[in-house]
């Protein structure tokens, strides 16, 4: 009886990408929209929640190809499987999940909202392997979703996508007052709080 091997979409993606990788490496900035659409279509065929980011070339170094579940825990396994299937590529470093940015401050602009690390404070409450957060944002308005969207992007940039999903429990966002500023932690201190959960 003949053996029929199950099609592995992860292997198929990397075979396709390997044929295009030099073109993408050299020309990504000039064909950004076209290449983003091509890669996104292939990834959505594996898991509809998969997304990605491509880094810039710095001094002739490799580009980073970051595979992300867009913060959705249900698709973490898809990220892991795609990353594990990745071959060694001359021009690329394949990274699973959006990593920490290792920057003292990042600003996110969405609509009329500009949010940076300095605008965010928090009070943690430990709950087993998780930490719940009371988050306080400068000039926060509950009727403007741009604040919460910008906050969660900042969260990923600070502690990385994996920890943002697997270590943060419940989050409640509130306006920042001077009284709270005096007793809450600065947003950049969250990294140490999360790292303590690993120890």
β-sheet bridge partners, residue 126: 131
pLDDT in tens, 126-174: 998 899 999 999 999 999 999 999 999 999 999 999 999 999 999 999 9
* Mean confidence (pLDDT) of the chain: 93
Asked whether the whole model's pTM tops 0.75, one would answer yes
Q: What pLDDT does 6 receive?
A: 59
Tell me: pLDDT of 69 over 60: yes
Banded model confidence at residue 199, pLDDT cuts 50, 70, 90: low
**Averaged pLDDT for residues 65-80:** 96
What are the b/e assignments for 66-81, b being 16+ CB within 10 Å? bbbbebbeebbebbeb
Tell me: pLDDT of 2 over 70: no
End-to-end CA separation in angstroms for the chain: 52
């Amino acid at each position: 009886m003949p053996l029929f091997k199950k099609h592995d979409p992860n292997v198929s993606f990397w075979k396709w990408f390997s044929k295009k990788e030099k073109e993408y490496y050299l020309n990504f900035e000039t064909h950004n929209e076209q290449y983003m659409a091509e890669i996104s279509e292939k990834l959505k065929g594996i898991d509809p929640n998969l997304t990605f980011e491509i880094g810039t070339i710095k001094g002739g170094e490799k580009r980073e190809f970051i595979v992300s579940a867009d913060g959705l825990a249900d698709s973490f396994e898809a990220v892991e499987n795609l990353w594990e299937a990745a071959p060694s590529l001359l021009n690329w470093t394949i990274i699973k999940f959006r990593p920490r940015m290792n920057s003292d401050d990042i600003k996110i602009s969405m609509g009329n909202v500009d949010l940076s690390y300095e605008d965010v404070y928090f009070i943690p409450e430990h709950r087993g392997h998780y930490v719940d957060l009371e988050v306080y944002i400068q000039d926060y308005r509950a009727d403007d979703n741009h604040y919460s969207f910008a906050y969660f992007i900042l969260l990923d940039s600070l502690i990385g996508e994996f920890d943002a999903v697997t270590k943060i429990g419940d989050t409640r966002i509130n306006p920042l007052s001077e009284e709270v500023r005096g007793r809450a932690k600065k947003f950049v201190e969250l990294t140490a709080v999360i790292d303590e959960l690993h120890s």
